[in-house]
Amino acid sequence: MTNVQKQDRGMLRVDVDECKGCGLCVEACPPKAIFLSERLNHYGYRTATYAGSGCTGCGICFMVCPEPGAITVLRIVKKDHGVEPCIAGAN
């Protein structure tokens, strides 16, 4: 059996000024593509950080986040001419 790596279906943007480091997104993420940073933001919180790969674009992290605007989920949509990210969740 060949080891085929799944292509990401989404990606995250985390606003470190809005994230309060509660960790709800980390616990809720099915593929575990989010972790809490070791660095502190200017409020003194360890903020959520996207691992850089593994996102399915499901939006669960966006839904469980209590801070409006802290997480934006981008879904990668395949077009006829290639791949293009588009916004899945509103801020």
- Can you give the pLDDT at residue 81? 61
- Can you give the pLDDT at residue 90? 43
48 forms bridges with which residues in the sheet?
36
Q: Domains of the chain, with CATH numbers?
A: 10-87 (3.30.70.20)
- Can you give the pLDDT at residue 52? 87
Strands 71-79 and 10-14: antiparallel
d(CA 9, CA 75): 6
Per-residue pLDDT of the chain (91 residues; tens, 9 = 90+): 455 456 778 899 999 999 999 999 999 999 999 999 999 999 999 999 999 889 999 999 999 999 999 999 998 877 666 555 555 554 4
How much is the pTM?
A: 0.76
